[in-house]
Structure 1
Amino acid sequence: MTTIYDGHCHVASTHFVPQAFVEDVAGNVHSKLSARGASPSVARIARSYVDQHQDHLADGLVAEMDAAGIARAVLLVPDFSLRMPGSVPPSEAARLHHEIRQRHPDRFWVYIGVDPRRGPEGVRAFAQMVDEYALDGVKLYPPCGYSPSDPDLYPYYEICAALSLPVFVHTGPTAASLDYEPADPIKIDRAARDFPQVDFVLGHAGLTHVDTGGYLAAYRPNVYLDIGGFASTPTLRSWPEHLNRLFRAGINHKIIFGTDWPLGRMGGGLKRLTDEILHGPTVFSGVSRTDQRLILRDNLLRVLAPGSRPAPHPAAAPRKGAADVAG
């Protein structure tokens, strides 16, 4: 069986999910359920969501990865802290994720969130975090209110170009109180042109805005698609059939497998998903073994390989790194 790497995961912890985000999710679930009849209250749904986000050290995630045959995963850390009160700032999130990596060696890569509105001090803080914790990439969340081609992000991209760090960009809908217009994948096009040395991964673009994401991936050498959340996207009637159509579109060299765990955690977990993908009749029907390996492993490794490095040793000597690029 092909070794699987998951390019889109989160730690299921209320340390990293602001209460406002929880309330938005609960409100959407309540709206959907109440349209079909009786629904639990928004407060009850929110409590259930919080209960599912108590895996603070990622022990539950690692257990699910082991059961599903997932060797390693990318942990994405959005920066909500300028938009949603109570959010953990990036420096604290980076420290906590470093502790998780020490607890589970060789199981995770970490992409830390940045926000262009933090100014030069934000760039310096990012450079310090990259050096201190050997971070593997950047996570952008444009629905917080900025374009991924904002010129104020370019100093971050310069660091990424120098250190071969990928940039993961959320696209498509999210919490109801956030902005959807900046989350159109076409918004990355200017930055992708200006920074051809940086690989940009469009989160969820294999599920929403598929036409736009698909042609960007086909014609921009440094743009990739992510399929995170495929089993929980409410607009797909059959995710196996959708993925099979996507995998027949001629861009399998640019598609990265991701689950968006813990999304869909209550529906059977990671093992159910990998069983359906690897052994079900639909997802990989007519898809070559070579392309399967590209999607499940090799594309992510190609994005990570130039900058991938082991987690730092606590006594590691100082080295030239992101702080030197940031000046």
Structure 2
Amino acid sequence: MVPLPRVIDGHCHLASSRCIPHGFFLGVAQNIARKMPRHAPPPDLDKLTRMLISQYEDHDADKLVAKMDEASIERTVLLAPDFSHVFDAQYSYEDVARQHAAVRARHPGRFHVFLGVDPRWGRQGCDYFEKAVDEYGFEGLKIYPPCGYSPSDAVLFPLYEICAAKGLPVLLHTGPTTPTLQFDTAAPSLIDGAARRFPAVNFILAHGGVNFVEQAKLMCNYRPNVYLDISGFPAVMAPGGWRAHLADLFAQGINHKIIFGSDWPVFSMKDDLKAMTAGLLEEGGPLARLPRPAVEAILAGTIESLLPARAQHPVSTAKAARHETNAREIASNEC
């Protein structure tokens, strides 16, 4: 019997309302309301927003780890975007960093973290990002261009310089998002300037296998340091659904540039993690006919190769205890 391939989820989020502002949830609720039938009663946006927030109470990632185990996911990359310049947020990016560090300490060896710091924080943000990488061992930078900046904007260069010096990848959101943010800064092609200027930095186009796919494929084909992930694939509405869509993507000759990502918990009410991985690997699934090396690269090998070498070393016991204490302090400050 051929053993199942290893799986590393390259795009996931901590399901914690301490890490995502209320305004983001409200925008998602507006998107849901727009898709409801016109003859249906007017949706209660406040109720929808509360329902969404209720799905984000796994502050310690205990439920997520249980889901990972069910799906045979070895490790997961947690993305922690910084929305502090566009939404009123109860928690700062420092709080979010400490929360993620506490989760890593609670579940040693299961999580990597890409921390987001809005570039408009300037030197203060860069210094904190570098400190968090050094102290907590975070392994990458998460940027969210729909917050109002191009991923090739010079304001980001100091952060990219840190990533180049430390061998850290950068993952950037592409495609649509909550309607309360910008869409004109979310095209994959906008990374081209940064990719040329920082050839030592590897850039990952989040959702690049689902949104603006032609642009994302072009970037992956012709920029050695640009990759894409398939997060968001359960939402594909193309003919044949996500299976046919991904089968076509996997036939484009860029499988060494493609990374599995679940975008959990965004689709937790539609598909479980186990259903996602099983659907990819099942007989007739989009990975079933690929050579074993390609499957292994998509599911784990490529994202693992982009992580810094030190990413395999867990935090010390002393640091673990300190990080968990920090998380409890954050929780005690909740209103």
Query: Structure 2-normalised TM-score?
Result: 0.90
Q: Which moved more, 1:213-222 or 1:88-97?
A: 88-97
CA deviation string 1:154-195 (max 9, x = no partner):
111111111100000000110101001111111111111011
Q: What pairs up with 1:159-170 in 2 under 5 angstroms?
A: 159-170=162-173
**Paired position in structure 1 for 2:204:** 201
Contact 1:13 1:53 in 2 (8 A): yes
Per the alignment, residue 249 of structure 1 pairs with 252
The equivalent residue for 2:301 is 298
Give the deviation of 1:51 after TM superposition: 1.2
Aligned partner of residue 234 in structure 2, secondary structure? coil
2:130 aligns with: 127
Percent identical residues: 44
Match of 2:220 in 1: 217
Aligned length: 316
For residue 260 of structure 1, what is the aligned residue in structure 2? 263
AA at the equivalent of 2:247 = N
Partner residue, 1:52: 55
Deviations along 1:45-75, one digit per CA (max 9) or x if unpaired, are 2121111111111111100000001010000
SS of the residue 1:56 aligns to:
coil
Q: Deviations over 1:302-324 (max 9, x none)?
A: 111445242332557xxxxxxxx
1:80 and 2:104 are equivalent in the alignment = no
Contact between 1:116 and 1:150, CA under 8 Å: does it hold in 2? no
2:25 is the alignment partner of 1:22: yes
How far is the alpha carbon of 1:232 from its aligned partner?
2.6
> Which sections of structure 1, spanning at least 5 residues, go unmatched?
317-327
Pick closer, same or farther for the CA change 1:303–1:106 going to 2, 3 Å: same
Q: Aligned partners of 2:39, 2:238: CA distance in 1, in Å?
A: 16
Matched, 1:37 2:40: yes
Using a 3 Å threshold, how does the CA distance of structure 1 residues 83 and 209 change in structure 2: closer, same or farther?
same
Cα shift readout 1:130-150 (whole Å, capped 9, x = no counterpart): 111111000000000011111
Cα distance, 1:268 vs structure 2: 3.8
Does structure 2 conserve the Cα–Cα contact (< 8 Å) formed by 1:165 and 1:307? no
Question: By how many angstroms is 1:233 displaced?
Answer: 4.3
Which residue of structure 1 aligns with residue 292 of structure 2? 289
RMSD between aligned alpha carbons? Answer: 1.6
Rounded to whole Å, the distance in 2 between the matches of 1:280 and 1:23 is: 39
User: Quick one: distance in 2 between partners of 1:292 and 1:2?
Assistant: 8
